[in-house]
């Protein structure tokens, strides 16, 4: 896989939000306005690229047993640094993102990429992967916030659109509308890729972090053993 392909896969084919369905919480919460969504996307991307690089560089040093605590400490460190920097230099964004900024620590995209990619690949590739996934995240957030702000609040980046602000659909800016738009976007991506995107995702049992201790080839095995145990 070339670097370009590695970067591009995050945009649509393995889009973290719309195909892998990771990081749903910040996606729903911060997409009520375009500027918030972009701020969130950029902040998460910075953290993602930094953490991917650090984890990839340390992948031979970190013992398997404590890899998750190590990843979390590294990610939390980068998030706190970004939080402090935003508070100091972009206070308006810091205020509008609020709690969701700190919650980047538990953003599944970042931990997911650390576990799935950075822990197995080189530093440069991991950085490219992080950048691609981050851009995919930004793209998904932008698409969602665009629909929600333009049609839900009748404004673009906080500027009211004449004519539209009187006829907006307020539910789009609320939580249920968020789910609605989210579902429609997933449908759209599936339709565009003819369902291939979903099948391509590499989250089989082999990708599961507990695969080594679980020992089963697929989750259906588990049901069978459960039934046998009942007998």
24/75 Cα distance (integer angstroms): 18
45/97 Cα distance (integer angstroms): 15
- Long-range Cβ contact pairs of 84-90 (< 8 A, separation 24 or more): 86/43, 90/39
Of 127, 113, 130, residue with least CA distance to 41 = 130
Examine residue 24 and tell whether it contacts other proteins (CB under 8 A).
no
Stretch that binds other proteins, among 75-83, 154-162, 197-205, 211-219 (CB under 8 A): 75-83
Q: Which of 3, 13, 59, 174 binds other proteins (CB under 8 A)?
A: 174
Stretch that binds other proteins, among 68-76, 102-110, 133-141, 215-223 (CB under 8 A): 68-76
How big is the chain by its Cα radius of gyration, in Å?
Answer: 19
Examine residue 84 and tell whether it contacts other proteins (CB under 8 A).
yes
Question: What is the DSSP-derived secondary structure letter of residue 103?
Answer: G
CA angle (12 as vertex; 10, 18 as ends), nearest 5: 95
Q: Which of 1, 25, 73, 219 binds other proteins (CB under 8 A)?
A: 73
Stretch that binds other proteins, among 18-26, 63-71, 205-213, 223-231 (CB under 8 A): 63-71
Here's the x/- map for other proteins, 145-164, by CB under 8 A: it reads as: --------x-----------
Q: Which of 91, 122, 158, 207 binds other proteins (CB under 8 A)?
A: 91
- Asked if 172 contacts 152 with a C-beta cutoff of 8 angstroms, the reply is yes
228/107 Cα distance (integer angstroms): 38
- Asked if 121 contacts 58 with a C-beta cutoff of 8 angstroms, the reply is no
Nearer to other proteins, 16 or 177 (CB): 177
Examine residue 209 and tell whether it contacts other proteins (CB under 8 A).
no
Q: Which residues bind other proteins (CB under 8 A)?
A: 32, 58, 61-63, 65-66, 69-70, 73-74, 76-77, 80-81, 84-85, 87-89, 91, 98, 153, 170, 173-174
């Amino acid at each position: 896989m070339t670097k370009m392909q590695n970067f591009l896969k995050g945009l649509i084919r393995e889009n973290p939000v719309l195909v892998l369905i990771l990081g749903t919480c910040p996606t729903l919460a911060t997409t009520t306005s375009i500027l918030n969504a972009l701020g969130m996307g950029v902040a998460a991307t910075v953290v993602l690229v930094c953490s991917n690089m650090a984890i990839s560089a340390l992948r031979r040093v970190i013992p398997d047993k404590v890899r998750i605590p190590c990843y979390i400490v590294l990610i939390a460190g980068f998030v706190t640094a970004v939080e402090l920097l935003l508070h100091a230099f972009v206070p308006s964004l810091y205020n509008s993102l609020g709690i969701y900024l700190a919650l980047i620590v538990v953003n599944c995209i970042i931990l997911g990429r650390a576990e799935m990619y950075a822990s197995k690949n080189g530093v440069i590739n991991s950085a490219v992967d992080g950048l691609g996934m981050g851009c995919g995240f930004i793209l998904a957030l932008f698409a969602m916030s665009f629909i929600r702000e333009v049609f839900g609040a009748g404004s673009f980046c906080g500027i009211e659109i004449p004519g539209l602000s009187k006829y907006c659909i307020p539910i789009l800016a609320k939580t249920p509308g968020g789910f609605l738009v989210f579902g429609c976007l997933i449908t759209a991506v599936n339709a565009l890729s003819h369902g291939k995107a979903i099948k391509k995702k590499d989250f089989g049992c082999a990708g599961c972090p507990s695969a080594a201790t679980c020992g089963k080839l697929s989750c259906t095995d588990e049901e069978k053993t459960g039934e046998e145990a009942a007998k």
